[in-house]
Amino acid sequence: MTTLLDLGTPLAERAVQARKLVIDMAASPRGCHLGGSLSVLDILIAALHRASLDDGTQVVLSKGHAAAGLYAALHVSGILPENPAPLYGQLGHPYTGHPGPKVPGVLFPTGSLGHGVPYAAGWALAQRLGGRGGLGIAVAGDGELQEGLVWETCQVAAAQQLGNFVLVVDRNGGQNDGLVQDISPLPNLAARFAAFGFDTAEVDGHDLTALCALLSDDRSSARRPLAVIADTVKGKGVPAVEGKAGSHYVTIDAARAAKWKRMIR
Amino acid sequence: MTLSGRDAYRDELTRLAATDPAVLCLEADLGGKGHPFQSAHPDRFFNLGIAEGAMIDMATGLAVAGYKPFVSTFAPFAALRAAESLKLTLGYLAAGVTVVAPYAGVSGAWFGTTHHCLEDFAVLRSIPGVTIAAPYGEADMRAVIREAVRSGRPHYIRTGRNAAYTSLGREGAELPPVNWEHPGDAGATCLVSVGEEGTRLALSARELRPESAHAHLTYLDHDHLASAAADLSRRHSRFVVVEEHRREGGVAEALALLLPQCEVTGVNAGHGWPVLGGDHHEVMAQLGLDLPAVLSALEPLDPTRV
């Protein structure tokens, strides 16, 4: 099912602008992980909005291959001053295909899947130790959940009662070689997290209002980590690629980029 | 009574944490009951369970947030299972995480190959930016831990199981690149000892070959070895490196490259897999790492066999 983007709010306008930047990066000589960058964009914008409260919340994009989406979200959220699109993948600039700590707003290197989840859990533990109310928010892909390190961390986070650790799953159903369902399915996902001792929520991952509501909670006294399973569409917002497995990594020309940017919905 | 390496680590870190609230202690279920840090600072001690990768990556999050996490688990699980985490955390990110790895070499002895680690120097020395130490004796370990806390730099610290070793004497509080246990005369063959058992063997060999020199190295990363090599070559030109590690990626190999004008040979764990039981020394002997091997290496090379 393809829902319409949540439009008409300042955050929604950011999301539209960010999608245009991602398309620009797909039109660079390097191309980019387009499908996953577009599926995760609304999650990132909502999470960065929570982080803008300056309460110590940190957002870690664990599915680092969606770097183009992260750079775009950081820019439209005002964290990354320069426009990363013309510099993406270029010599002398830090906007690599997977993000690293030279990028303003990025504290951890991600892209080797699984690591961003414990980075965020460690950040959450640090907030708790410091008596702050900030969250450690990890944004992972659903395919990424096939990595053992994710579940190792869920076990630890639940045991440590890290209520300020939030794992948002960008459930777009795709991974590099095809569909999660065909390669290594993850049925009953919410029940899995609940069995680990997490609070769980399922949400339309393109509904910025719902995402912001979930991430705005004060979890400083929570004792169960939170798993947010966000249903998303690969390539979201660009009709030509929405829901298509072939959108995983895309390189396009300038004319097509201009056309796609006009058609964002 | 002198303490073993890991007991000295625990005691020194516990002591330092009393005056540095940023110091944290993380374990992965191998810290034992009655950990002194847990008793003294329960709010800053975390047994995260059997989860080495998660432990190191969570330590990364803590370090980036401003803490000084010290994580400890057996060397094979730290250096090999969690190798990618070490590359990203200690190397690429240069996060202030210290990894303390007991059970290095074959100190796990009869526990078997799963609990041995003869490859950690090779892994860690190939990751730029990591300070690598293999202290010998309680004083060495305490000094290394103090420096790790002070500097906040990424460290990998190797130690053994429960054996305790009498510390070598040294001048000053800081560890020098080379601790000249016995400088020896010009022209003498110089034993270069690495780690606990490498140093024990070198000391034993020197008792039987008192004409030999002996230099002990505590820090083993490239930068420290480069400084050590310069110091070593000012006094001697023939070296026998004794280390409880594979030949590949070990200290002898590194010194040979740093000292092309010198003769550097090594006594090490070679290429074998110890499949039989025995105590620590017996398992080392299965690998050809024993006193006769060191004494043999001290003999001048037979030019007819070169």
| CB within 8 Å: B92 and A100 | yes
Domain assignment present for residue A58? The answer is yes
Domain assignment present for residue A60? The answer is yes
Side chain identity, residue B249: G
Q: Quote the minimal CA–CA distance from B58 to chain A in Å.
A: 4
pLDDT at B306: 41
Side chain identity, residue A90: Q
C-beta separation of A238 from A260 below 8 A: yes
Nearest to A18, CA basis, from A76, A64, A65: A76
pLDDT, tens only, A217-244: 999 999 999 999 999 999 999 999 999 8
| CB within 8 Å: B58 and A136 | no
C-beta separation of A149 from B54 below 8 A: yes
Q: What is the CA radius of gyration of chain A?
A: 17
User: CA B138 to CA A222: how far, in whole Å?
Assistant: 43
Beta-ladder partners of B47 = B27
pLDDT band at B302 (very low <50, low <70, confident <90, very high): low
Residues above pLDDT 70, as percent of chain B: 98
The answer on pLDDT for B127 being more than 50 is: yes
Closest-approach residue (CA) in chain A for B66: A126
How many structural domains comprise chain A? 1
| CB within 8 Å: B58 and A129 | no
User: CA B45 to CA B25: how far, in whole Å?
Assistant: 5
Nearest to A3, CA basis, from A183, A182, A208, A194: A208
By the CB < 8 Å criterion, does A123 face chain B?
A: yes
Residue keyed to tokens 């400083």: A220
In a mutational test of the A interface, the residue from B25, B29, B45, B58 whose CB has the highest number of chain A CBs within 10 Å is B58
Residues above pLDDT 90, as percent of chain B: 93
Torsion of CA A104, A109, A115, A118, to 10 degrees: -40
More confident residue, A156 or A245: A156
pLDDT at A1: 41
| CB within 8 Å: B54 and A153 | yes
**Which domains does chain B possess?**
5-158 (3.40.50.970), 179-305 (3.40.50.920)
User: CA A138 to CA A107: how far, in whole Å?
Assistant: 12
Closest-approach residue (CA) in chain A for B68: A126
Of B57, B63, B84, which is closest to A118 when you measure between CB atoms? Answer: B57
C-beta separation of B110 from B283 below 8 A: yes
Collapse the DSSP code of A144 into the 3-class scheme (helix H, G, I; strand E, B; otherwise coil) and give the result.
Answer: helix
pLDDT, tens only, A131-161: 999 999 999 999 999 999 999 999 999 999 9
The answer on pLDDT for B277 being more than 60 is: yes
Query: What element of type H or E holds A118?
Result: helix A116-129
- Cβ–Cβ pairs < 8 A, chains A and B: 89
CATH number at residue A92: 3.40.50.970
Nearest to B209, CA basis, from B298, B292, B289, B293: B298
| CB within 8 Å: B61 and A127 | no
| CB within 8 Å: B51 and A119 | no
As a whole number, mean pLDDT of residues A39-56 equals 97
Please state, rounded to an integer, the average pLDDT across all residues of chain A.
95
What's the ipTM?
Answer: 0.92
User: CA B129 to CA A99: how far, in whole Å?
Assistant: 20
Domain assignment present for residue A134? The answer is yes
pTM for the whole structure: 0.94
DSSP symbol at A250: B
Residue numbers in B near A123 (CB within 8 A): 61-62, 64-65
In a mutational test of the B interface, the residue from A156, A160, A167 whose CB has the highest number of chain B CBs within 10 Å is A156
Domain assignment present for residue A5? The answer is no
Domain assignment present for residue A57? The answer is yes
Q: Quote the minimal CA–CA distance from B17 to chain A in Å.
A: 15
| SS3 of chain B | CCCEHHHHHHHHHHHHHCCCCCEEEEECCCCCCCCHHHHHCHHHEEECCCCHHHHHHHHHHHHHCCCEEEEECCHHHHHHHCHHHHHHHHHHCCCCCEEEECCCECCCHHHCHHHCECCHHHHHHCCCCCEEECCCHHHHHHHHHHHHHHHCCCEEEECCCCCECCCCCCCCCCCCCCEEEECCCCCCCEEEEEHHHHHHHHHHHHHHCCCCEEEEECECCHHHHHHHHHHHHHHCCEEEEECCCCCCCCHHHHHHHHCCCCEEEEECCCCCCCCCCCCHHHHHHHCCCCHHHHHHHHCCCCHHHC
DSSP symbol at A25: H
User: CA A199 to CA A191: how far, in whole Å?
Assistant: 10
User: CA B262 to CA B301: how far, in whole Å?
Assistant: 13
Sheet containing A199-204: order of strands: A58-61, A136-141, A165-171, A226-231, A199-204
Of A119, A126, A130, which is closest to B57 when you measure between CB atoms? Answer: A119
Residue numbers in B near A58 (CB within 8 A): 65
The answer on pLDDT for A6 being more than 80 is: no
Overall size of chain B counted in residues: 306
User: CA B47 to CA B73: how far, in whole Å?
Assistant: 11
Overall size of chain A counted in residues: 265
Range of the domain at A245: 10-262
| CB within 8 Å: B48 and A156 | yes
Query: What element of type H or E holds A199?
Result: strand A199-204
Q: Quote the minimal CA–CA distance from A195 to chain B in Å.
A: 18
**How far is C-alpha B180 from the geometric centre of its chain's CA atoms?**
18
The answer on pLDDT for A2 being more than 50 is: no
pLDDT, tens only, A79-138: 999 999 999 999 999 999 999 999 999 999 999 999 999 999 999 999 999 999 999 999
In angstroms, the Cα distances linking A144 to A114, A129, A250, B38 are: 6, 29, 20, 35
Specify the pairing of strand A178-179 against strand A174-175: antiparallel
The answer on pLDDT for A8 being more than 80 is: no
What is the per-residue burial (b if ≥16 Cβ within 10 Å, else e) of B125-150?
bebeebbbbbbbbbbbbbbbbbbbbe
Domain assignment present for residue A2? The answer is no
Of A112, A114, A126, which is closest to B61 when you measure between CB atoms? Answer: A126
By the CB < 8 Å criterion, does A143 face chain B?
A: no
Domain assignment present for residue A14? The answer is yes
A171: tokens are 């459930």
Query: What element of type H or E holds A138?
Result: strand A136-141
Domain assignment present for residue A1? The answer is no
| CB within 8 Å: B92 and A119 | no
User: CA A181 to CA A10: how far, in whole Å?
Assistant: 35
pLDDT, tens only, B48-86: 999 999 999 999 999 999 999 999 999 999 999 999 999
